[in-house]
Amino acid sequence: MRSFPGPALEIVERMQRAAAADPARAIAFQGSPGANSHRAATEARPDLAPLPCFSFEDALEAVKDGRAGAAIIPIENSQHGRVADIHFLLPESGLHIVGEYFMPIHHALMALGSGPFEAAYSHPQALGQSRHYLRARGIVPLSHADTAGAAAYVAERGDPSVAAIAPALAAELYGLTIIENNVEDSADNMTRFVILANEALAPAALAGKPVMTTFIFEVKNIPAALYKALGGFATNGVNMTKLESYQQGTSFAATTFYADIIGAPGDEAVDRALEECAFHSKELRILGSYEQGRTRG
């Protein structure tokens, strides 16, 4: 709680009380009220009470501890790529992906003063998505835990020479003036969120729907291991829409991969492809099968 800026604390406490009244119908998100994840939570699950958490780890822990029935986490942005650390946090959490949500992202420059501004605070993702805008105006980007938290911090600091980059809602919540809307460098800026829960979706809940499956695997440290692990998806006609690598530990001897495919276990082609991938891997773990939030292919 003390990690949230002062202007956000009253709103955070009010939202936490509402979530605590019915934890099963709460959805945890990372950030202060007014953050993009807050907006994603209310749009993707309007029937649930949004629960603000300071960090991604806190949001995931809220589900594991029973303080929320679900969490919504951003995993990638069309302009700035992977959200840092999320590929480590999802497998470690033990939670299951039960949905996805795509949300257009628009940032506003907001402040107490009218400018010029020496610096702007925001989450590193938002700063990266607005880097050309900031550079053209000589504004120094300064990292903050989340976008709306940056707006609350600017309000708390009371310095008219600094600004925040955050959703327009944050200006309303924390008494800032919007200097300019849509300061993101790309008009089609989009973030993909995943929704996580303690229990995986039952296959019957996905019957007849376009489905995605997300999994991680670590290939064996032998020549052509990745080629062989992926071969089954090609031969069985399973479309892999995402494949990212990342290192775990300090040996750098083997690589873990994070992948999305169209389809789910129970489909014969998917089962054969996953079986072949597992044969050529040291470990394969499914993180979840869920309905597509946007049609692929």
What is the three-class DSSP state of 21? helix
> What are the start-end ranges of the H helices in the chain?
6-21, 36-44, 56-64, 86-93, 124-129, 131-136, 147-157, 168-174, 203-206, 225-235, 268-279
What tokens appear for 241 in the block?
A: 């829409």
In the block, which residue shows the tokens 């679900």?
Answer: 70
Distance CA 133, CA 143 (A): 16
Is residue 191 part of the annotated active site? The answer reads yes
- Cα distances (angstroms) measured from residue 12 to each of 2, 5, 72, 190, 287: 11, 10, 17, 26, 30
46 upstream amide cis, omega within 30 of 0 = no
Q: How far is CA 9 from the centre of its chain?
A: 23
Query: Residue 139, by phi and psi: left (phi above 0), alpha (psi -120 to 50) or beta?
Result: beta
193 is a catalytic site residue: yes
Amino acid identity at 122: S
> How far is Cα 78 from Cα 14, in angstroms, rounded to an integer?
33
For 50, phi and psi rounded to 5 degrees? -70, 135
Q: Which of 193, 215, 217, 233 is catalytic?
A: 193
Tokens of 246: 């990342």
| Catalytically annotated residue among 29, 117, 147, 191 | 191
3-state secondary structure at position 186 = coil
Which residues are part of the catalytic machinery? 191, 193
